[in-house]
Amino acid sequence: MVEYLKSRGYEADLLDMPTRNTADWKEALLGYDALISAGEKIPGETMRFLRGSLKVISRFGVGTDEMDHAEAVRQGIAICNAAGSFNRPVAECALGMMICLLRNIHLGNREVHSCDWSRFNESRNGEQLYGKTVGLIGFGGIAQTLARMLMGFDCHVIACDPFFNEEAAEKWNVKRVEMDELVRSGDVVCLLCPLTDETRDMVDAEFLRRMKKNAVLINTSRGGLINEYDLADALKKGVIAAAGLDVLRQEPVTPKCPLLGLDNCLLEPHIGANTNDAVEYAGMFAARNAADFLDGKKVATILNPDYVKNTRGIICC
């Protein structure tokens, strides 16, 4: 990224981050026209401090819920992302966790490492993904990529999304359903939606009680979608069969996380997007967005277009 930005005529620095919250070191950001963020928290405090200096925040990735969008608008700061850059690796991650949990691969791995050869234990037989009903909560780019992959398993794919893409649904043989039907009928339920005020703690005790007893829950979106105490209780009591989470409410995870130590809960350290190919592509996408914006070129992935009404009086490049 740095070499690319320099080739476009810009000075570029890699900054050491003492914490993941830019408010703790906002002084170090003064004088930069653009920030390329890899998921650091950028609250309103930081944006107010950088008004008149910072023009654009370009996300190295997709999710921007760690940024104060409303304050960015007020301060005339554009926010853009590398939309679609991680669709395939995150979809592959979700698919991998489905197969792992349905087939109990994670338990088999642990047992063999312990010299336990319990291959004829019927409780380890597991289920195949083939022919299962998979529910996608959210039907954006990642969900659509996953739906395409699931066609190879002859899965019955259902989805709900307030901005449902009918064309993609027809292409990948996805049926649109209401949330309640999806939760009750999914053998696998995948969370593929953004974290908003409406979706925060969406998966609670009542949600989990509506799921099938043998169902698997997958979350590759944001940890805040799930009430982890309710999920831990449901997993312990057999309300659902298993869960696979690439994201947690508190990252990095702490010993207080109620999901730690549960055999039927597969946890990953938010690495669903981390493949070498995807990281390189997303980095170049983010760098190109920043350079294009500063050059006055159109950036298709501006997420807060209202920022323009508050740019008066701000010195632009």
- pLDDT tens column, 135-194: 999 999 999 999 999 999 999 999 999 999 999 999 999 999 999 999 999 999 999 999
Which one from 59, 88, 222, 249 is the annotated catalytic residue? 222
Residue 249 annotated in active site: no
Cβ neighbours around 280 below 10 Å, total: 12
Give Cα separations from 97 to 100, 169, 191 (angstroms).
5, 23, 13
Element (H, E) at 185: helix 179-185
Closest Cα partner for 124 from 145, 109, 139, 144?
Answer: 109
Q: How many CA atoms lie within 13 A of 167 on its CB side?
A: 1
Determine the pLDDT at residue 1. Answer: 84
Please tell me which residue in 66, 111, 181, 251 is annotated as part of the active site.
Answer: 251
Which of 88, 106, 270, 288 is an active site residue?
270
Tell me what pLDDT residue 315 has: 40
Structure tokens at 278: 């995807």
Residue 58, SS3 per DSSP? strand
Work out whether the CA dihedral 284, 287, 293, 295 comes out positive or negative: negative
Q: Give me Rg for the CA atoms of the chain.
A: 22
3-state secondary structure of 81: strand
Q: Which domains does the chain have, with CATH numbers?
A: 2-85+275-310 (3.40.50.720), 87-267 (3.40.50.720)
The separation between CA 169 and the C-alpha centre of its own chain, rounded to angstroms, equals 21
| Strand 174-176 to 242-245 pairing | unpaired
Q: Which amino acid is at 73?
A: V
Strands (E), the chain: 34-37, 56-59, 78-81, 133-137, 156-160, 174-176, 188-191, 216-219, 242-245, 265-267
The residues near 246 (Cβ < 8 Å, ≥ 6 apart) are 90, 93, 94, 97, 219, 220, 268, 270, 271, 272
* Cross-strand pairs, 219: 191, 245
**What is the DSSP code (8-state) at residue 125?**
-
Q: Residue 206 catalytic?
A: no
pLDDT at residue 312, rounded to an integer: 61
Tokens of residue 212, six digits: 């099938």
Angle, CA 98 vertex, CA 96 and CA 104 arms, to 5°: 95
The gap between the terminal CA atoms of the chain, to the nearest Å, is 20
Counting as low any pLDDT under 70, the low residues of the chain are 123, 312-317
| Nearest alpha-carbon partner for 260 in 274, 275, 276, 249 | 249
Q: Which pLDDT score, from 0 to 100, does residue 10 have?
A: 94
Longest CA–CA span in the chain (Å) reads: 73
Phi, psi of 151 (to 5 degrees): -60, -30
Q: Is 222 a catalytic residue?
A: yes
pLDDT score, position 117: 87
Measured CA to CA in angstroms, residue 142 lies from 95, 154, 191 at distances of: 11, 19, 10
